[in-house]
Structure 1
Amino acid sequence: MPTIMLVDNGSSRPDATLALRGLSDALAQRLGQPVHPVSLAHSSKVPAQALDGRPADTLEPFLLRQAAAGAQDFLAVPLFFGPSRALTRLIPQTVARVADAGPQVRVEVADELCPLPRGEPRLAAILDRSIRTAMRSLDTGTRIQALLVDHGSPIPAVSAVRHWLAGRLKCLARGDYQLGEAAMERRPGADYAFNGALLEEALEAIGKEQAQAQAQVVIGMQFIGPGRHAGRHGDVEQICAQARARFPGLEIRISPLVGEDEALIDLLIERAEQRLQARGGASLLRHG
């Protein structure tokens, strides 16, 4: 049976590592076996005292330590929406460096959360629930504009995931909210226009359009857990505060994060099972 890792990109914010550990614990409880929370970068900068005295694990030192203890076979379950370069490049490069250091390890990577072209309707359902949760404190008698917001990517295949999810959400909305899209980051130039509007640009457009009336906006957070953009004191909160200050008629709510929905664990289990079965392994599940 492989050593299972729940893998995220990593963050220098303690809340991100603590959230990853929470998801790993929940996944381990369902599987009945250990799941190791491992980040690909950044998390090693977080002081251990900010993480209950236990330093964050990043991939390369984790693999070296586990290999020294005799482990060779690993399954990485990624907390990524699309085919990020972190999955397609960073993990293979890290495994190659570990091999150069001596240990021969095998790291299988399960599918991302929303593999295209088939997509993942259950992920869209999670996002719809999170948007509706944020809507509860708004006046549903007036138009509600939702913005599906992701990190933004220089890779069209990653941004295509947000576009696919937005298409599903437009069906799930059933007229209760209108849906647009925005990104937190976009490289300059026409080559990266596929990312669409930045969040501050989208809020600016809504604010100007509704300058003489109250506008209700929900930020649909296509983020797993807290970090530089998401969570308390993240960039999303700051951009929303700036938009409210400029357009007093803007009433903005921020949705819960994807990692707060229990249905995410079902998806992660399925991704792990699919990868294991593809290589002829036994089921990971020891109980329901």
Structure 2
Amino acid sequence: MSKSSAGHKMPRGSVPPYVLLVDNGSLQPAATRQLRKIAAALGRRLGKKVTPVSLLHSDQVPAKKLGGRKAEILRSAVEQRLHRGGREFVIVPLFFGRSRALTEFIPELINQWRLQEPKLKVRLAAPLAVGGDDQLARILETQVRAKLTPGFLRGQRARVALVDHGSPVKTVTQVRNRLATQLRRRLGPSVAGVAPCSMERRPGADYEFNEPLLETLLATSPWNTGPVIVAQLFLLPGRHAGPGGDIERICRQAREKSPGLRTVRTKLVGEDPALEAILTDRFLATK
């Protein structure tokens, strides 16, 4: 770029659509690093650049912990590109269900951006879990079957606890429950049972739909003895599902209380290459 053109916005219509892969955000560097890996893989699959951005938090991680490049936040990422002449965006959510991030937070941002630029075009893709699609259940099945080893089972059939973070939005919890049903059907008699549960929940009767908690389930017969596979319905590593995180702690404490209990955790959904196919489908469905 010449000195005379540096710093100026590009002419309208000259900037191709920006594709943004959006997660919730985390203060854990590992979460942003994994988000970047997924965005790069999706970009190779689509044949176009996919920019990883977060809704919140991630920009507080020091750049030195992220290879010298700070994480981007959705609001500033879009506004910077608007200033450079961008008018069209495709937002691909890295979310399992229609949380408030997708029903409230992002739509509110889009409305604000349209006040700045009336010609703005934003296509918001669907979340990962949509009705009638069993791709997520297939990923979970693969991860669970990888843990059905003779050394872990010791001649017994395992039970599977499908755990997510827990949500204040009932429809998000219903997504998890539907996935548990699909997973139970796919695993069939190879396991003794599949149960959905939450890592945590808000207090009060209004949020009882998150029950049971993983901690409670692992203390209840017959889940407190024998092999239990904890299928982690989490996308990115962090303080909950990463090494040394809350899920690991809950499982360790459950084993200490019930010596006959054995637990093993699956990989995160975001670590499975098959996730790229789902994200590709969600992107293509916006056209």
User: Structure 2 length as normaliser, TM-score?
Assistant: 0.89
Would you say the 8 A contact 1:134–1:256 is kept in 2?
no
Q: Which residue of 2 aligns with 1:152?
A: 166
Question: CA–CA distance in 1 between the matches of 2:268 and 2:274?
Answer: 12
Q: 1:59 aligns with which of 74, 78, 99?
A: 74
Q: Helix, strand or coil for the counterpart of 1:204?
A: coil
Name the CA shift for 1:140/1:87 in 2 (closer, same or farther; >3 Å): farther
> Aligned ranges for residues 99-178 of structure 1 at < 5 Å?
99-100=114-115, 102-104=116-118, 105-115=120-130, 118-136=131-149, 137-139=151-153, 141-177=155-191, 178=193
- Name the counterpart of 2:35: 20
Partner Cα distance (1:238, 1:89) in 2: 33
Where in structure 1 are there 5+ consecutive unaligned residues? 277-288
Q: Kindly state the Cα deviation for residue 44 of structure 1 after the two structures are TM-superposed.
A: 1.2
Alpha-carbon distance between aligned partners in 1 of 2:195 and 2:232, rounded to the nearest angstrom: 12
Max Rg structure = 2
What amino acid maps onto 1:164 in structure 2?
R
SS at match of 1:131: helix
1:257 aligns with 2:268: yes
Equivalent residues of 2:92, 2:125 under 8 A apart = yes
> Contact 2:217 / 2:223 at 8 angstroms: preserved in 1?
no
Q: Are the counterparts in 2 of residues 133 and 256 from structure 1 also a CA contact under 8 Å? A: no
**Paired residue for 2:25?**
10
After superposition, give the CA deviation of every residue in 1:47-72 in whole Å (9 maximum; x if it has no partner): 11110110001101101111111111
- Which has the higher mean CA deviation after the structures are superposed, 197-206 or 250-259? 197-206
Q: Is structure 2 residue 246 aligned with structure 1 residue 235? A: yes
Over 3 Å counting, the alpha-carbon distance change for 1:269 and 1:109 in structure 2 is same
Extract unaligned runs of 5+ from structure 2.
1-15
**Hey, what does 1:215 align to over in structure 2?**
226
> Letter of the aligned partner of 1:251 in structure 2?
R
Deviations 1:127-178 (A, max 9, x none): 1111111233512620211100111111111111011111111111121111
Q: Secondary structure at the match of 1:174?
A: helix
Does structure 1 retain, via aligned residues, the 8 Å contact 2:159–2:223?
no
One-letter identity of the residue aligned with 2:32:
T
Provide the TM-score with structure 1 as the length reference. 0.89
C-alpha spacing 1:247/1:67, structure 2 compared with 1 (3 Å) = same
Q: Secondary structure at the match of 1:75?
A: strand
1:132 partner amino acid: R
Equivalent residues of 1:146, 1:180 under 8 A apart: yes
Distance 2:28 2:142 in 1: 26
- 1:204 and 1:103 mapped to 2: Cα distance? 55
Say if 1:242 and 1:61 are closer, same or farther in 2 by CA, change over 3 A.
same
Amino acid at match of 1:27: L
Q: In structure 1, how many angstroms separate the alpha carbons of the residues matched to 2:171 and 2:164?
A: 13
Aligned 8 A contact 1:119 1:164 in 2: no
What letter is aligned with 2:33? L
Q: Distance in 1 between matches of 2:54 and 2:261?
A: 37
- Give the Cα–Cα distance (whole angstroms) in 1 for the partners of residues 178 and 146 of structure 2: 21
Count, aligned residues: 269
String of CA shifts for 1:97-148, please: whole Å, max 9, x gaps. 3445x34533211011112xx2421110101111111233512620211100
Give the Cα separation in 2 of the matches to 1:95 and 1:2.
15
Q: What is the DSSP-based 3-state SS (H/G/I as helix, E as strand, rest coil) of the residue aligned with 2:189? A: coil
Residues 1:69 and 2:84 aligned together:
yes
Which deviates more, 35-44 or 177-186?
A: 177-186
Shift of 1:234: 1.4
Give the whole-Å Cα distance in 2 for the aligned partners of 1:215 and 1:57.
Answer: 44
**Taking every aligned residue pair, what percent have the same amino acid on both sides?**
42
Q: 1:185: how far off? A: 2.0
SS at match of 2:101: helix
Residue type of the partner of 1:122? Q
CA contact (8 A) 1:82 1:158 kept: yes
SS of residue in 2 equivalent to 1:10: coil
Q: Quote the residue 2:59 is aligned against.
A: 44
